[in-house]
Chains A and B, each alone.
Chain A
Amino acid sequence: MGKKRVGALEKVDADLSYTEDFLNQYGQYQSQRDIFLASPTTATSSGIISFRDLIDFVAHVADCFPEDTADFAEDLKTILTLHHAQLESELREKIVGSLVLLRRKDIIDSSNLLNSLFPILVATPSKTLRTLLFQKILSDLRTSNSKTINHRLNRTIQTALFNLLTSDRASPKGIWAVKITRELWKRQLWTDTKAVEIMKEASLADNEKVIGGGVRFFLGGDKEREELDDESSDDEGGIDVGKLKHQAGINKKSNKKKKHVEEAVKKVKKNEKKKNQPHPLNFSALHLLHDPQGFAETLFSKHLQNGKSKLNLEQKLLVLSLVSRLVGLHKLTVISLYSYFIKYLTPRQPSVTSFLACLAQATHNLVPPDALEPLVQKIANEFVSEASASEVASAGLNAIREICVRQPLAMNDTLLQDLVMYRKSKDKGVMMAAKGLLSLYREVGADLLKKRDRGKTATMGIKSGSIKERRFGEEEVGGIEGLELLEQWKADERKRKRVERGLPEEAGSDEDEEEDEAEEQAGWNNWDAESDASNDSGGWINVESDAEIEISDSEDEKPATKKAKLDTAAKSETDGEKEKADEVLEQKISKLATTKILTPADLAKLQELRLEASLNKAMGGNKKSQSQYLKELADRHADDPLTADQIEGFAKLRKSTKEEMIALAREGKGDRNEHKSTQAIRKSKKEAEGKSTTNKEKSRKKNFLMTLGKAKYKQKRSLTQTKRVLKGHIERSKRGGKRGNIGM
């Protein structure tokens, strides 16, 4: 029975004229099955028609004869579960394939199929069968979740996986639970706490592979998911419907082409629909954890502190980075973790930068400084010295900085002043690292620095008292970012309106309130509008073109600070006034948020203003301000891990091979496959971009014959003529060319 026949029979929709033929085949199948079940090991399928083909055939037509084949699926399942180890591989694959086919024809349901396949996946010794089953299970889970999330099925499977992990913690079978969960997490089919719970159990298992799988999931699962999401959204927009329709109009018309166009249109519509759908809320696995404190504690005590744990260094590092990320992210308190680090903080320790990164990650502002201080001291002693290699020193400094960003109180003044001295180092990496530390402490703890290292703003801040020593456990008062901008904008608007109406700029308080109410009403009215601001600014953002570029360096600032010191007495009064004004402003700001409910229009405007402000900032100074850098650091810390690369810093450049360095240098210079001068390359690039040439170039290129006439005439000019020409030239150059550049 070839494939042709099977295919032909499949197309027959329950035509009863085939019933008897089918019954014959089915009878044959049944007798073969009986023979097989009587002696599964010795039964051969060498007959004219093999058992395999019969199964294939019956599976294909089973939906046409539901009554006759009622127990077909059950038969297959029993054969597979009882004899999967002895079955010949082709027959085995056929049975699995047939079961999946029956599922696709809706003869058996998904949970039925998965419940029969999953135990075999876990139990079978055959690798090919395992891969096949894994693939089938995944694809079935995907299809059954494709239209809507099938919660019931997911729950049963998740429970099965969970039980698999918890029933025997030492067995390597749990790896399948990890694999399946990770894959489904990646495809965003499972995004709930239950999946995370499974992985949590996996990371607390006893088997190294299972532990590794679970831990890796927490460290990289979300990134993987995002990447897949990006990929899938990338390859969506490739279809140009207009082009396809045009082609269909020109080329020979055939049904195939028509279908092609229809499919493309359908796909584009689907994509658009997908785009308009609200973005699914995807919490990262780390956020979905239930009881992170308990999890971190057990992870640490079971795999790291425990002397009996059999993990090797690499696996331990993985677990450690998970623990430290948990601690950092959820601000957990695992005090013994910090003393655990002590013995690993030597330059000779393999992959010490990872340890340093983990330590920095595990630090947050609620860690007691007493726990961190010896660690910082040890890093300074072991890594940062004149005798140690520059890579080592820069790694140590970077690590200390990363720790101190998160908990500035871990540093004492003598050590800091010592470390800051390294900014005079000749090695770039060390110098950068030390400068980083210096600028960090200018922001967060200037009083620990020597006076001359503090910089202008910090010194003035300390003088005026606006920079205060931060105490342990103190939290910043929160606010809404950009709220003051909104306030400002509102006031401006109000003024503008009043001017339009011909009233004085300032208004009485009661008038003000009325206006406010009216405005608010308007704001609530256009709830649906994306942004009411768009009608006046049309979606454009003002970017100031001529912002001054301020370059501030510590050396430059010194004279200014001295000056400040001189006339502080004079200034103190004005300072006090200023402060008062600031306080008033602050109060006002807080009022806006607390007294009014921000309308959607307000929120949209707020977003716009924020964007504008950030753009201005980016354009304004080419040097990132330290506070911005700090904010960046904090943002990065919130969800992304700190890597060993960041600790290594500039030292990495040194370590790279020659090829890598060349590649780095070549980056962005275009390909140099022809041997040309740099200028020639630039010129050709300019030409390719369609940019104009200079006058010099034009004159150089001008046809010789065209210049001849002028040259001849030049010799015969009289003195007055020459004078006129020269004058004209001067005038033109003053004007800026023949037409002048006045209008431009």
Chain B
Amino acid sequence: MGSSARKKKDKRKDFQKPKLKVGKTKPKADNFTDTSFKARSIVVNQQSLTTVAPSSSSQFAHYLSLASSSKSDSQRRDALSYLTTQLSSQPVNAPIPLPTAILLPKLLPLILDGSSSVRSQLLKFLRLLPAADVGDRAEQALLYTRAGMTHLAAEIRVDALAILEWLLEVAKEDIVICPGGWVKTLKSFMTMMGWATTSGTSKWTSASKASFGKAGKAFPRQLLVLAQFLKAGLVESGAEASLRLSVSSFPLVDVEKHMIPTRSNAFAHLNLFGSSRDEEGEMYIDREDRQRVFQKRFQAAVQVGMENARKEAGEAGRAAAVLNKVLVEGMADYSGGVDDTL
């Protein structure tokens, strides 16, 4: 009996309708075939769909952006070296692929770069830039250079000095004239060499105990660069002197001063549009102004520091002697005391 009942049930099963329920998916039919399939797409990382190679100028721009914003040290260095070779391999009079006005703002932050190879490569590249273009951007360049000179890492300070040397070679006049170029740079020199004094009056004699003041070997070099800088600012340049001598057109006096100025932004010192500047940020166009400020704020500190360096003798002593010579030469014709601006 049991078996027959089961058989009956089995038979009935074939003709039973599946129960449909609300909210449940419909049961699949017995003869259902799964026809779905999976596909995988392949992503090609770098693909170039152009038939021609990228132009050299676009490649130049690409490497420039790599140099300025890449995260890896080696990539930045390599990009810089590429730029350097591009620039050096160009024909002599051909214009550089991108103007200096674009190149400099992108590359100047690299002065503060952590990797020394990048910094040295940067210096190499900068030396290739046309000198005339740098002068107009001296202020910006000096901003980063000063940041480098007061940096906490000694290597960056040294390399920043090299940059300053380059700037002095290329745009001597602009460096000392541009806003903040004279006083602020001198101040960072003082900080770097540990000759700085507090603005507050203190009763204590401050023996220099700073942890990064005298950096051994770098000290003579700092003295030399300071000497160069002072020379640029204080000593009358040859051109100026020759100008003064050329009084050939006798009846006319100071003709040059009445002619259209050759410098760009000749009235920058009037500061017509910018925010007002304080004493440090001011432009010191005249040599006499520079002398006055130097005498007022820095000379004493420099004299003391220089004397100490001379007593050390050796390399530092020799450098100090050079500095001394520049100082004497620069301040020789300073009458002093005529403080008409304040």
Name A residues whose Cβ lies closer than 8 Å to a Cβ of B.
16-17, 19-21, 23-25, 27-28, 30-32, 34-35, 38-39, 42-44, 47-49, 65-68
Contact A34 B198 (CB under 8 A): no
Q: Can you list 17 A-B contacts (CB < 8 A)?
A: A23-B191, A23-B196, A24-B191, A24-B210, A27-B187, A31-B146, A34-B143, A35-B109, A38-B143, A39-B105, A43-B109, A44-B109, A47-B112, A47-B113, A48-B151, A48-B153, A68-B199
Looking at chain A's contact residues, is the secondary structure mostly helix, strand, loop, or mixed? helix
Closest 5 CB pairs of A and B: A67-B200, A20-B210, A31-B147, A27-B150, A27-B191
Nearest CB of chain A from residue B110's CB, rounded to whole Å: 10
B147 engages A20 (CB within 8 Å): no
B109 in contact with A19 (CB, 8 Å): no
Contact A35 B188, CB 8 Å, known A42-B105, A67-B199: no
A20 to B214, CA, bound (A): 12
Q: Is A21 touching B147 in the complex (CB atoms < 8 A)? A: no
Report how many residues on chain B are interfacial, defined by Cβ distance under 8 Å: 35
Contacts of B200 in A (CB 8 A): 65-68
Known: A19-B202, A25-B152, A47-B112. 4 other contacts (CB 8 A): A24-B191, A24-B210, A48-B114, A66-B200
Cross-interface CB contact of B150 among A28, A47, A65, cutoff 8 Å? A28
Q: Cβ of B112: which chain A residues have Cβ within 8 Å of it?
A: 47-48
Contact A17–B209 (Cβ < 8 Å): yes
Most A CB within 10 A of own CB, among B146, B147, B196:
B147
Query: B180 interface residue, CB < 8 Å from A?
Result: yes
Q: Please tell me which one of the listed residues A20, A39, A42 contacts residue B209 in the complex, with CB atoms under 8 A apart.
A: A20
Q: Flag if B150 contacts A67 (CB, 8 Å).
A: no
Residues of B near A20 (CB, < 8 A) are 194, 196, 206, 208-210, 213
B198 contacts A23, C-beta separation under 8 Å: yes
* CB–CB A31/B198 < 8 A: no
Q: CB of B246 within 8 A of chain A?
A: no
Chain B contact residues, majority secondary structure: loop
B202's closest neighbor in chain A, by CB? Answer: A16
In the bound complex, do residue B152 and residue A49 qualify as a contact, i.e. CB atoms below 8 Å apart? yes
Q: In the complex where A20-B209, A27-B188 touch, is A38 in contact with B180 (Cβ < 8 A)?
A: no
Interface residue? B211 (CB, 8 A): yes
Give the Cβ gap from B167 to chain A, nearest Cβ, in Å. 15
Q: How far is the CB of A69 from chain B (nearest CB, A)?
A: 10
Q: Are A21 and B210 in contact (CB under 8 A)?
A: yes
Write out the residue numbers on chain B whose beta carbons fall within 8 Å of the beta carbon of A42.
105
Q: Which residues of A contact B109 (CB under 8 A)?
A: 35, 43-44
Closest to A35 in B: B143
Q: Are A38 and B140 in contact (CB under 8 A)?
A: yes
Smallest CB gap from A54: residue in B: B152
Query: Which residue among A20, A38, A47 has the maximum number of chain B CB atoms within 10 Å of its CB?
Result: A20
Q: Is B60 an interface residue (CB 8 A)?
A: no
Distance of A49 Cα from B156 Cα, bound (Å):
12
Report how far A237 CA is from B208 CA in the complex, Å: 57
**Which residues of chain B have C-beta atoms less than 8 A from A49's C-beta?**
151-152
Measured between C-beta atoms, what is the minimum distance from B243 to chain A in Å?
Answer: 33
B210 close to A31 (CB less than 8 A): no
CA distance in complex: A66, B201 (Å): 11
- Give B68 Cβ to nearest chain A Cβ, in Å: 10
CB pair B211 A21 closer than 8 Å: yes
Partner of B146 from the list A17, A19, A34, A66 (CB cut-off 8 Å) is: A34
Instruction: Give complex CA distance A44, B105 in Å.
Output: 12
Using Cβ atoms and an 8 Å threshold, which residues of chain A touch B140? 38
**B204 in contact (CB, < 8 A):** yes
Q: Residue-by-residue, is B144-175 near A (CB-CB < 8 Å gives 1, otherwise 0)?
A: 10110111110010000000000000000000
Cross-chain contact of A32 among B147, B149, B212 (Cβ < 8 A): B147
